[in-house]
Chain A
Amino acid sequence: AQSVTQLGSHVSVSEGALVLLRCNYSSSVPPYLFWYVQYPNQGLQLLLKYTSAATLVKGINGFEAEFKKSETSFHLTKPSAHMSDAAEYFCAVRPIIQGAQKLVFGQGTRLTINP
């Protein structure tokens, strides 16, 4: 079964610093990949997605992610952290084969921004 692993359950950065959240997937065929953000007491909001087009994907709120097949990775980055970025971030995978249409989520990474 396809899965994603998020390295680091908790990441803390200073305001203005680079944000890097790591995600690796396991799949024999490159899947579709997603990053979601969850603010306290809210549902999940899509940040960006990779669907086999451009390997560098730009999302909302200044985030971007790069699909690297050789490393089976889809790390999320933002050049300069803002206090409002503090939230839980989830990487998710969805196989592109027929009949497997569900999102499978990683364990999540809690991002804390220090003033």
Chain B
Amino acid sequence: EAGVAQSPRYKIIEKRQSVAFWCNPISGHATLYWYQQILGQGPKLLIQFQNNGVVDDSQLPKDRFSAERLKGVDSTLKIQPAKLEDSAVYLCASSLRQGYGYTFGSGTRLTVV
């Protein structure tokens, strides 16, 4: 089966610019997660979708971050405006049902200069 696809792999932007990341989960996986992994730290959950509804976005900085999963399949994560501290790897994961059998994508490495 195809894995979780993410694009782009790398992105460099200046602070205050906007950026968007895309994730296509494994076919049939109802749950989709976006994690932020800052260098030297473990991944931190930003937002969790069940189909096209948000289950948990308690750690999403909503003043600058937004995410959507309109048709319950692929998802986009946006940052506007970016700050230096947003430099991180953004990982997307999906699972057949909540909390089970996560599959991670390769991530998007964002550098804000």
Contact = CB atoms under 8 A, between A and B. Distances in A.
B61 interface: no
B91 A44 contact: yes
B98 A101 contact: yes
B99 A102 contact: yes
Contact of A105 (B40, B44, B98, B109): B44
A43 B104 CA distance: 6
A6 B72 CA distance: 35
Contact of B43 (A41, A46, A90): A90
B75 interface: no
A44 B104 contact: yes
Interface string B30-51: 0101000000111111001000
Interface of A: 9, 32, 41-46, 90, 92, 94, 101-108
Interface of B: 4, 31, 33, 40-45, 48, 55-56, 91, 93, 98-99, 102, 104-107, 109
